[in-house]
Amino acid sequence: MSYNLGFIGGGNMSTSIFQGIINKGEFPTSKIWVSGPHLENLQHWKECGANITNKNGEVYSNCDIVFLGVKPQFLTKAIDDCSDSLPKNIVKQKVLVVSILAGISIEHLHKVLSILPGEKQVIRTLPNTPMSVGAGACLYTPDSTVSEQQCVELEKLLSGCGICERVPEHYMSSLGSLTGCGPAFMYIAIEALADGVVKQGAPRAQAIRLAAQMVMGSGKMVLESKKHPGLLKDEVCSPGGSTISGVATLEDGKFRATLINAIEAATHRTLEMGKK
Ligand SMILES: NC(=O)c1ccc[n+]([C@@H]2O[C@H](COP(=O)([O-])OP(=O)(O)OC[C@H]3O[C@@H](n4cnc5c(N)ncnc54)[C@H](OP(=O)(O)O)[C@@H]3O)[C@@H](O)[C@H]2O)c1
C-alpha cells in the first residue's frame, strides 16, 4: 500500500473497520494511525501494531486517507483539536476524508473541515459493527470530486469487512438505519429466540449459538439463492405444519409492522440528530 491510513476517533465503529481491514492481512498496521483524547483507550490498536496519538493533527498530517470516527456531537471539537495540533508549517496537498458519522451530510462535513489545510475530498459512509468479523454492510456516497478510482480503492480497502455498496446520499439515513441499527434488532431477535427454547428447558449457550447460526444461515440463503424472502418462507411452511403456526403467532404479534416501525423510528432519529 502506497498510502497511510488514519482514524480520528478509535472507538467501537472505527475498531470494527480496523479489525476488518487487518484481518484481511493486506494493509500493514505500521501504516495506520489513530487518535483519541485518551491513549489508554487506544491500547488495542497499539497491540496490533498501529500508531496511536492524542493529537488529531498528527493523524491528519501523516495520512492520505483519514476516517472520521467520533460521535456526531463531537465532530466540531475533533476538527478544532485537529487544527490546533497540526505540526507547524505543514504542507498538505490532498486528503480523502472518510466520515462514518451517522446523519452528517457531505455538505456539512465540508463546512467543518474547511479550517484544515489542503484540498479535502469527502466520502460519507455508514458502516456497521459486523464489519469486524468480515460480515458487515457498509454504504458510501462520494462527493463530486472523488474519482471512480478512489471509490474502487475504498471498496478494495474494506473488502475484508463484508459488503460495501455505493448509494445516493438521500438513501443514507434509511438504508443506514437498516445496516447500522439493524444488528441491535437482530441481537434482540437472537436473544428472544433462544429464550423461547430456554423456557422449555434447553441450555442457554447452545440455544444462543443455534439461534445465531440460524439467523446467519437465513441471511445467506437470501443472498445466495437470490429468491425473495417471502418465497423462502413459503418453502419452509408446510400446510398445517409447525412453521406456519409460528408464523401466525408472529403476525398476531405484529412482527412485520414492528420491524418496519423500528427502521422508520431509527431513520427519524438519525435525521433529527443530523440537524442538531
Ligand atoms: N456503533 C455503530 O454501530 C455505528 C454504526 C454506524 C455509524 N456509527 C457512527 O460511528 C461514529 C462513532 O460511533 P462509535 O459507536 O464508535 O462511538 P464510540 O465508541 O464512542 O467512539 C467514539 C470515539 O471518539 C473518540 N473521541 C471523542 N472525542 C474526540 C476528539 N475530540 N478527537 C478524537 N477522538 C475523539 C472517543 O475517545 P474516548 O473514548 O477516549 O473518549 C471514542 O474512541 C458515530 O459518529 C456514529 O454515528 C456507529
Query: Quick one: which of 196, 194, 212, 213 has its CA closest to 204?
Result: 194
Asked if the model's pLDDT at residue 168 lies above 80, the reply is yes
Average pLDDT over residues 214-233: 98
For ligand 1, atom 1: residue with the closest CA: 13
**pLDDT given at position 163:** 95
Q: Which fold has domain 5-167?
A: Rossmann fold (3.40.50)
Query: What is the pTM assigned to this prediction?
Result: 0.91
- By DSSP bridging, strand 119-126 and strand 136-142 are antiparallel
Q: What span, in angstroms and rounded, lies between the C-alpha atoms of 200 and 249? A: 17
**pLDDT given at position 271:** 87
Cβ-proximal residues to 139 (8 Å cutoff; 6+ apart), any chain? 125, 126, 164, 165, 166, 167, 171, 172, 175, 176, 179
Average pLDDT over residues 234-252: 98
Domain residue spans of the chain:
5-167, 175-275
Q: Which fold has domain 175-275?
A: ProC C-terminal domain-like fold (1.10.3730)
**pLDDT given at position 92:** 84
**pLDDT given at position 245:** 98
For ligand 1, atom 19: residue with the closest CA: 11
| Residue 273: band (very low, low, confident or very high) from pLDDT cuts 50, 70, 90 | confident
Regarding predicted confidence, which is higher, 204 or 276?
204
**pLDDT given at position 94:** 92
**pLDDT given at position 27:** 93
Q: Say whether 175-275 and 5-167 share the same fold.
A: no
**pLDDT given at position 99:** 97
What share of the chain has pLDDT > 70, as a percent?
Answer: 99
Average pLDDT over residues 74-88: 95
Kindly give the distance from the C-alpha atom of residue 16 to the centroid of ligand 1, in angstroms, as a whole number: 11
| Residue 272: band (very low, low, confident or very high) from pLDDT cuts 50, 70, 90 | confident
**pLDDT given at position 18:** 95
**pLDDT given at position 224:** 97
| Residue 240: band (very low, low, confident or very high) from pLDDT cuts 50, 70, 90 | very high
Number of the ligand 1 atom closest to the C-alpha atom of 77: 31
**pLDDT given at position 47:** 97
Kindly give the distance from the C-alpha atom of residue 118 to the centroid of ligand 1, in angstroms, as a whole number: 25
For 157, the grid coordinates are: 480497502
Ligand 1-lining residues (CB < 6 angstroms): 8-14, 35-38, 41, 56, 69-72, 74, 77-78, 81, 100-102, 126-129, 180
pLDDT tens-digit readout, 117-167: 999 999 999 999 999 899 999 999 999 999 999 999 999 999 999 999 999
| Residue 253: band (very low, low, confident or very high) from pLDDT cuts 50, 70, 90 | very high
Substitution site in 7, 8, 13 for ligand 1 pocket (most atoms within 8 Å of beta carbon) = 13
- For the chain, the first-to-last Cα distance in angstroms comes to 38
**pLDDT given at position 152:** 96
For ligand 1, atom 9: residue with the closest CA: 101
Beta bridge partners of 120: 95
What share of the chain has pLDDT > 90, as a percent?
Answer: 92
**pLDDT given at position 127:** 94
**pLDDT given at position 75:** 96
For 102, the grid coordinates are: 451517522
Asked if the model's pLDDT at residue 275 lies above 80, the reply is no
Average pLDDT over residues 28-32: 96
**51-53, strands of its sheet edge to edge:** 51-53, 32-35, 5-8, 65-68, 94-99, 119-126, 136-142, 162-166
Kindly give the distance from the C-alpha atom of residue 229 to the centroid of ligand 1, in angstroms, as a whole number: 34
Asked if the model's pLDDT at residue 274 lies above 80, the reply is no
Kindly give the distance from the C-alpha atom of residue 155 to the centroid of ligand 1, in angstroms, as a whole number: 22
